[in-house]
């Protein structure tokens, strides 16, 4: 069995955010992201709740809600200001979910695959930058990342790549997610 490599604390360079600032930003953006994910699934469920993928969407929403509970706790414990744009994520996430669901089950799965791909990469970037500086947060993010990987794989197994206009739809959703991440880290 391969031994887990011992990680050294992240080397901070002049101008880099402090470890406490990195923690605050990570908690803020991840809270906003998990909140938005729950809202996407709620929008999809509004349209597809009684379809053959309804129970699958509910399972994934419930897992995202558990991630959101973790970040709700971290927001409170660390006295981190949530993103000021949560009302936008509330409406925008729901509309993204409804919109993709109206295009059909495969488009809803394409949305999930695209969102989860970006979030998986985002979480991995956080793990790489936080590293041994903050084991607790690294473990939380790694746990959530594993769930996002599973959601993406599930969406792919359920026809995400067969959605109408899959390429442009997926790229537009990914670009929107990257922009939302950038904004939520700061606002």
Q: Distance between CA 21 and CA 27 in Å, rounded? A: 10
Choice between 9 and 103, residue whose per-residue pLDDT is larger: 103
d(CA 145, CA 120): 6
pLDDT for residue 145 is more than 60: yes
- Mean pLDDT of the region 108-121: 97
Q: Are 103 and 163 within 8 A, CB to CB? A: yes
Confidence (pTM): 0.88
- CATH of range 19-186; options 1.10.150, 1.20.1260, 1.10.540, 3.40.250: 1.20.1260
Question: Above 70 in pLDDT, residue 143?
Answer: yes
Is the Cβ–Cβ distance between 91 and 43 less than 8 Å?
no
Residues 88-111: tens digit of each pLDDT: 999 999 999 999 999 999 999 999
Which one is predicted more confidently, 41 or 184? 41
Per-residue pLDDT band for 16 (boundaries 50, 70, 90) equals low
Give residue 108's Cα distance to chain centre.
16
pLDDT score of 14 more than 90: no
Task: Answer yes or no: are the C-beta atoms of 97 and 41 closer than 8 Å.
Answer: yes
* Contact residues for 82 (Cβ-Cβ < 8 A; gap 6+): 28, 31, 32, 75
Please tell me the predicted confidence (pLDDT) of residue 1: 43
- 53-63: pLDDT as tens digits: 999 999 999 99
Please give the span between the terminal C-alpha atoms of the chain, in angstroms, as a whole number: 44
Buried b (16+ CB within 10 A) or exposed e, 66-75: ebbebbeebb
Are 5 and 115 in contact by the 8 Å Cβ rule? The answer is no
pLDDT exceeds cutoff 70 at 3: no
């Amino acid at each position: 069995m391969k031994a887990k490599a011992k990680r050294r604390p992240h080397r901070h360079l002049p101008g880099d955010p402090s470890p406490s600032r990195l923690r605050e930003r990570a908690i803020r953006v991840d809270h906003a992201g998990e909140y938005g994910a729950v809202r996407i699934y709620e929008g999809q469920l509004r349209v597809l709740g009684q379809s053959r993928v309804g129970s699958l969407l509910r399972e994934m929403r419930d897992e995202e809600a558990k991630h959101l509970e973790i970040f709700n706790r971290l927001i409170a414990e660390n006295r981190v200001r949530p993103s000021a744009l949560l009302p936008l994520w509330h409406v925008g996430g729901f509309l993204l979910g409804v919109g993709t669901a109206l295009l059909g089950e495969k488009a809803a799965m394409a949305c999930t695959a695209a969102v989860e791909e970006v979030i998986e990469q985002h979480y991995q970037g956080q793990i790489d930058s936080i590293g041994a500086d903050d084991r607790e947060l690294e473990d939380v993010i790694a746990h959530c990342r594993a769930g996002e990987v599973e959601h993406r794989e599930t969406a792919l197994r359920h026809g995400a790549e067969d959605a109408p206009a899959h390429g442009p739809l997926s790229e537009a959703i990914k670009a929107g997610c990257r922009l939302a991440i950038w904004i939520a880290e700061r606002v």
